């Protein structure tokens, strides 16, 4: 992987140098320096980053208890992962994680013979941004990280809405943690999600 990246950087630099032969070499040198400085070749979490501040999530859904519950779960999973310490403010942090809970939806999926919804799907989505405080740069912005669960309050196994919410938030927190630490959360996806084009 590193060898492929090195070849790519070398190719880009050589292309720019070749294209800039007719122009002032100072311009070419400056362009090459900017490309090299901008190409970090690092994992999602920079190697020199140790501390993360999690901003209290913005909640655009109107369901009051979602934000603090999600923040606590993300904090817990980041701490369990062990790659980053979680700070209570961003003054001494290297990174800042921002979460906006964008949707909370309960969809009725199946009805019984008298019209009651016997199966529902709870669906919560969040937009997530990781910001490098030292370099004043966005590392990634991932919109619509989602988590959902199909459940029933009428047919066995009966699950109350509050328990389903806890489960969906837990799954969403795992996905946000995986995205923050590794850049991917595909291992958290369901079979249904993986089959989607």
pLDDT at 90: 85
Mean pLDDT, 10 residues at a time, the chain of 197 residues: 50 54 54 48 76 96 94 96 90 95 96 91 97 94 95 92 96 96 71 58
- Say if CB 84 and CB 181 are below 8 A apart: yes
- Helix/strand/coil for 43: coil
Indicate yes or no: pTM above 0.85. Answer: no
pLDDT at 47: 84
Residue 63 CA, chain-centre distance (Å), reads 21
Q: Looking at domain 51-195, does it have CATH number 3.30.1330.10? A: no
pLDDT at 184: 74
């Amino acid at each position: 992987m590193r060898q492929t990246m090195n070849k790519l950087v070398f190719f880009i630099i050589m292309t720019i140098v070749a294209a800039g032969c007719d122009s002032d070499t100072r311009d070419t040198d400056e362009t090459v320096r900017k490309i090299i400085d901008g190409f970090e070749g690092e994992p999602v979490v920079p190697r020199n980053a140790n501390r993360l501040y999690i901003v209290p999530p913005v909640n655009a859904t109107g369901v009051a208890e979602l934000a603090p519950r999600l923040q606590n779960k993300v904090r817990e999973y980041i701490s369990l992962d062990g790659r980053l310490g979680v700070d209570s403010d961003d003054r001494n942090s290297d990174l800042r994680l921002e979460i906006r809970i964008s949707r909370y939806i309960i969809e009725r999926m199946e009805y019984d013979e008298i019209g009651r919804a016997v199966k529902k799907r709870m669906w919560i989505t969040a937009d997530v941004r990781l910001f490098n405080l030292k370099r004043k740069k966005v590392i990634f912005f991932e919109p619509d990280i989602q988590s959902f669960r199909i459940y029933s309050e009428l047919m066995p196994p009966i699950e109350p809405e509050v328990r389903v919410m806890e489960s969906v938030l837990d799954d969403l927190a795992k996905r946000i943690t995986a995205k923050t630490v590794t850049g991917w959360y595909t291992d958290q996806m369901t079979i249904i999600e993986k089959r989607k084009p």
